[in-house]
Chains A and B, each alone.
Chain A
């Protein structure tokens, strides 16, 4: 097995990453390779952070939640098996971390979401209408129930298939697709003023 610390050393020398597959890295994590979690973090922090950001509606907790996600891996609390892709597995961990976090800090998160909505209104956009749409969409996403929001973020925004999202969320593919559809309708209604 290629050891993760070798991965780290190569990176520290400024060389290109060795051609380790995602699966090999995940297996190295499971085997307790000290550098593998860090290497996985480097490879997947983008989509994981983006998903968390969207699930919590922005805010300063994103960094902590990303760290918590990968700590689950580093500590061996969650071990990849080959039932899902490595990204799907990591997003499943991230989704659980966000759920725990939401339950612990629900009230504060609502405030964060409201603030994210306010910030979206301030963002520069080509058209004033677009700015308003953006802000409304952010608020609509924040207002969705947890199940709809998770399905929408994973499928619509992160591009997971319904089957992959079902693996992340621990539900059926059909259920995910229904949630995505409902979420989309609700967001359209909120943004455009359509009847849901």
Chain B
């Protein structure tokens, strides 16, 4: 290879910063050996084109969740999650995703894992996992720090008593649960945690917004989309406590779970909210749904209601019809068309009794009746 003079060699050593300095340019213009040497350097570099995208979207998402879970585990190492955080609700009540962490010793002994270097596959599993038909559960790590990811559907986890240093985690999205040997069932949909039912032991649920809930045996946590919707519409654009709306339900009530009272707020025009809307899939459905949702959250419930009603006439809604019915009800309710809203909710209860929104529809119908009774 040709020899380089100091000026060009220094520039190369510095990583060829751009723009090239006048001194280097001037030297190259007048020095054929240096030009030849630089050409050789560039030729070698040309034999190594950049590789294509190395991490697909799914991989990126998986790594993100893992990092978040690990960082939270690190944060939670010292104090056990023994009380409910009173941190204010984030504005993104519907930020889907939850990371569920099941750990021995209630996070007292969460030892950090060592990734790919861990011994795998030899120790007995810490949990017996029974996915329901159609559920998607993936095992990401083996003992002593077993990690599962529940992608969709429901699955029961029977965790044996964990020894010190053993942890078991289930990643669903962005929230988090901490457990000692226990039995519990998780329900997820499209990567979003919907429900946690604890049949034995104690579970700490660390939500993506940093709040922590403790669930004892017999308790169930369920995300409440009605409250999420209320929050989306009622809470946006106001600087306030943000903590007043109950976006999920824990039954039966427990002292370990602190739920602030639900304030009644006067609604007023607000800027577009920033809340994830539920997914509705199908050709063109997503776009239409999100347009309608955008109208609702930007304070135009009448237009939103009309748009949701248009969607309802589509023959390809399938099981997503319940979603559309629900938000149509919401839009009509906000537009002051309570009777139509009730019709929609009734339709959910009748036509989609097993749908995610059915329980909420029943509840909303009950609330609506109570409200009617109160105003008469």
Contacts and interface: CB of A to CB of B under 8 A. Distances in A.
A189 to B, nearest CB: 10
Contact of A157 (B48, B55, B112, B276): B48
Contacts of B92: 9, 12-13
A32 B15 contact: no
B15 A159 contact: yes
Contacts of A61: 116
Interface stretch (A16-24, A107-115, A133-141): A133-141
Nearest to B1: A185
Interface in A122-156: 133-134, 136-138, 141, 155-156
Interface in A90-117: 100-101, 104
B48 A141 contact: yes
Contact of B115 (A5, A71, A155, A187): A71
B75 interface: yes
Given A75-B74, A75-B112, A188 B44 contact: yes
B50 A63 contact: no
Nearest to B111: A75
Interface in B62-99: 63-64, 66-68, 70-72, 74-75, 90-92, 95
B278 to A, nearest CB: 15
B15 A164 contact: yes
Nearest to A69: B115
Which interface class (under 10, 10 to 19, 20 to 34, 35 or more) fits B?
Answer: 35 or more
Contacts of A80: none
Given A45-B55, A159-B15, A188-B1, A68 B68 contact: no
Interface in B99-145: 112-113, 115-117
Nearest to A64: B116
B235 to A, nearest CB: 14
Interface in B20-68: 40-41, 43-45, 47-51, 54-55, 59-60, 63-64, 66-68
A173 B9 CA distance: 13
A66 B63 contact: yes
Nearest to A52: B54
Contact of A36 (B13, B64, B71, B112): B71
Contact of A34 (B41, B49, B75, B95): B75
Interface in A69-92: 70-71, 73-77
B16 interface: yes
Contact of A5 (B63, B113, B210, B276): B210
B19 to A, nearest CB: 14
A27 interface: no
A173 B13 contact: yes
A68 B60 contact: no
Contacts of A68: 115-117
Contacts of B90: 9
A191 B95 CA distance: 52
Contacts of B112: 75-77
A53 B1 CA distance: 27
Contacts of A74: 67-68, 70-71, 74
Mostly helix, strand, loop or mixed at chain A's interface? helix
Contact of B75 (A32, A41, A42, A173): A32
A184 B41 contact: yes
A42 B74 contact: no
A159 B15 CA distance: 5
Given A35-B68, A155-B15, A162-B13, A12 B74 contact: no
Given A13-B92, A66-B55, A155-B15, A32 B71 contact: yes
Interface string B251-286: 000000000000000000000001010000000000
B44 A184 contact: yes
A150 B48 CA distance: 14
B55 A38 contact: no
Interface in A157-177: 157, 159-164, 173, 177
Contact of B67 (A38, A64, A133, A173): A38
Contacts of A188: 1, 40, 43-44
B238 interface: no
A65 B116 contact: yes
B239 interface: no
Interface of B: 1, 13-16, 40-41, 43-45, 47-51, 54-55, 59-60, 63-64, 66-68, 70-72, 74-75, 90-92, 95, 112-113, 115-117, 174, 210, 274, 276
What 4 A-B pairs have minimum CB-CB distances, sorted nearest first?
A137-B47, A161-B15, A68-B115, A34-B71
Given A9-B90, A49-B55, A74-B74, 8 more contacts: A13-B92, A34-B71, A34-B75, A38-B68, A41-B67, A70-B63, A155-B15, A163-B14
28 contacts: A5-B210, A32-B75, A35-B71, A37-B68, A41-B64, A50-B51, A54-B51, A62-B55, A63-B55, A64-B115, A65-B116, A67-B63, A67-B66, A71-B66, A75-B71, A76-B74, A137-B44, A155-B15, A156-B41, A159-B15, A160-B15, A161-B14, A161-B15, A162-B14, A163-B14, A164-B15, A173-B13, A177-B13
